[in-house]
Amino acid sequence: MTTRANASFKIESWEEQPLAGATEAPRVTRALVTKSFAGDLEGRSTLEYVLAYAADGGATYVGMERVEGTLRGRAGSFVLEVRGRFEQGSAETQWDVVPGSGTGGLSGLRGRGRATATHAERNPWLLEYELD
């Protein structure tokens, strides 16, 4: 049975650098990001993005995110494969739990989720998952 976890996240840090010195579109960068979570997921994550910026300022991105914390009372960690698009001040992100990445009480975690982030202090985060 699929369970839904609702949380919010806050970006704690964002360090972005160009790849291969590209300074004009299509500019490609990498970003190291840390986040904190509150709600059904309590914890922190570290995420590395690779972003490709278009001339209009929008960006497409992919990344890997390692989450450590407690998901509805079960402590452990897991990894998310992340992809999304940023345009007009809003980032639409989707992810899948990397198979076999769950540890501790989150061993066997499977699922996918999404978030829409703006420049707000906290943004909503949703994970639909199954856990052995």
Nearest-angstrom CA–CA distance, 48 and 14: 10
Token pair 């949380």 in the structure block, residue: 7
For residue 102, the tally of other CB atoms under 10 A from its CB is 24
- At residue 25, the pLDDT reads 63
- At residue 22, the pLDDT reads 64
What is the set of domains in the chain, with CATH numbers? 3-121 (2.40.350.10)
Give the residue ranges of the chain where pLDDT is below 70.
21-25
- At residue 55, the pLDDT reads 86
Q: What is the pTM of this model?
A: 0.93
